[in-house]
Amino acid sequence: MKIQVVRNVLEANDRLAGEIRKRNAKSGILLLNIMSSPGSGKTSLLEKLIPLLQEDGLRIGVIEGDITTMCDAERIAKLDIPVSQINTEPFGGDCHLGSEVIMPALDHFDPKETDLIFIENVGNLVCPAEFDTGANANIVVISTTEGEDKPLKYPLMFRTCRLAVINKVDLLPHLDFNIDELEQNIRRIQPHMDIFRVSARTGEGIAAVRDWVEKMHIKA
């Protein structure tokens, strides 16, 4: 009974996600879904990445997902771009964004004025991986302070992503952490993952993420 309901919810979600991709393809909008644990640096990454993309003429919007608060949306709005905040608290504090909340959030952006929309998903390495948001690709952010074993322990997250951004490399000298081992573990789960090492704090490596996003935009 419970399983049947969950299955229906997932099927409805996937159907709507397909509609989102069709609609965005018509408008020439690339939709990228960023996921991570709480505090891995999704917002900080966007704060550094978006200005680089803007320099190259891309017009950007952000959909911010949080259970509650507008903290991240306020940080992103300072970049002077349109932001749509989704709070999942009225929906029972949902631990992920589904396509049913992404679809109406898209109406917040003028398709003639938008090339690229980032979804910053709820901070959670488990549930968001189960729900197709309608994005063209998923990105996982993992920070050097989280340990080498996380891809093995949260395999679905890494299996559903095309890009892994390893953040907080500026802290490497202060950690007992083997970044090569983390990369190996990522590739054990997702052999074709693109991987970049960055510091959203210092800006190191962000240009490589920009190039990746721009290539995705050309393809889309």
Footprint of a copy of itself (CB under 8 A)? 1-3, 5-6, 9, 37-39, 66-69, 71, 92-93, 95, 122-127, 130, 143, 145-147, 149-150, 152-156, 168, 170-171, 174-176, 201
CA nearest neighbour of 134 among 16, 9, 10: 16
Position 102: which residue type? I
CB of 5 to a copy of itself, least distance (A): 5
> In the complex with a copy of itself, which residue's Cβ is closer, 60 or 125?
125
> In the complex with a copy of itself, which residue's Cβ is closer, 67 or 207?
67
| β-pair partners for 138 | 33
CB atoms within 10 A of CB 206: 20
CB of 149 to a copy of itself, least distance (A): 5
CB of 105 to a copy of itself, least distance (A): 18
> In the complex with a copy of itself, which residue's Cβ is closer, 82 or 147?
147
Tokens matching residue 2: 């419970």
| β-pair partners for 137 | 32
> In the complex with a copy of itself, which residue's Cβ is closer, 123 or 134?
123
CB of 63 to a copy of itself, least distance (A): 16
Residues 36/7, Cβ–Cβ less than 8 Å: no
Reported in sequence order, the residue ranges of the chain that DSSP labels E, i.e. its strands, are 30-36, 60-66, 83-87, 116-120, 137-143, 163-167, 194-197
> In the complex with a copy of itself, which residue's Cβ is closer, 28 or 203?
203
How many helices and strands in the chain, by DSSP H and E? 8, 7
CB of 206 to a copy of itself, least distance (A): 17
